[in-house]
Amino acid sequence: MFDRGNDGFEDERESLVAQLADRDRIRHETTLNALRSVPRHEFVPRQRRREAYDDRPLPIGENQTISAPHMVAVMTDLLELSRGDRILEIGTGCGYHAAVTAEIVGSKNVFSVEYHESLAEATRDRFRRLAQSDRFDYDDISIRVGDGNGGWPENSPYDALYLTCAAPDFPPAVVEQVRPDGRLLAPLGDDPQELVLAEKRDDGSLSRESHGFVRFVPMQRT
């Protein structure tokens, strides 16, 4: 059973968060607390656990990666999430980014779409296992297997949306699922991509701002 209070990686996790804060990678206290709370070593392959708190991406299977902690922090900060916000994530992967989001908005408010059934099932199992500690409720995060370009319309509208994979542009279907004044964040374009934060106007159009160049795995589609 996982013990949130004593998992053997407290020092490594605290050191990572402190480094990110010192480098101005974390601006909001909610983001800092979320990264401090989520056991990243539980979201990487067992043979990679000693690398879990290095600030870099790691492979998780299916040619996918877990994002570097600083990128998760940057994206979380940019979305300015609040408790109770309804969030759509495209690209569940191992579930780490969704768990960080859930620490802020609440697990029942996170809806995630994953293309690879094997990753989705492994993440559901991971969330259930962590929930056995009675210290996490990540098993309340909703995961759907499918093409992220279609989003998850049944649970819309969302207050915010983010992609953990690179796309040519924000998929039109998911833009429609975000409420007016909602925020969208994604790595867009070719390799390297541009991290773009957008706000949805009342007429459905997007105001956009760039937050630098990044490198993500490409979005999968059927």
Q: What is the mean pLDDT of the chain?
A: 94
Using only C-alpha atoms, the chain has a radius of gyration, in whole angstroms, of 16
Q: What's the structural domain count of the chain?
A: 1
Cα separations (Å) of 211 from 96, 144, 152, 166? Answer: 22, 29, 26, 14
pLDDT tens, 128-141? 999 987 778 899 99
For 7-45, give the DSSP string. Answer: -S-HHHHHHHHHHHHHTT---SHHHHHHHHHS-GGGGS-
Cβ atoms of 196 and 186 closer than 8 Å: yes
- pTM of this structure: 0.94
- 1 within a domain of the structure (yes/no): no
- 220 within a domain of the structure (yes/no): no
- 221 within a domain of the structure (yes/no): no
Active site residues: 67
pLDDT tens, 41-100? 999 999 999 999 999 999 999 999 999 999 999 999 999 999 999 999 999 999 999 999
| Confidence band of 35 (pLDDT split at 50, 70, 90) | very high
CA geometry: angle 122, 15, 111, nearest 5 deg: 30
- 157 within a domain of the structure (yes/no): yes
> Dihedrals φ, ψ of 103, to 5°?
-60, -25
- 5 within a domain of the structure (yes/no): no
Which residue, 115, 105, 114, 164, is CA-closest to 140? 105
Give the pLDDT confidence score for residue 7 in this predicted structure: 77
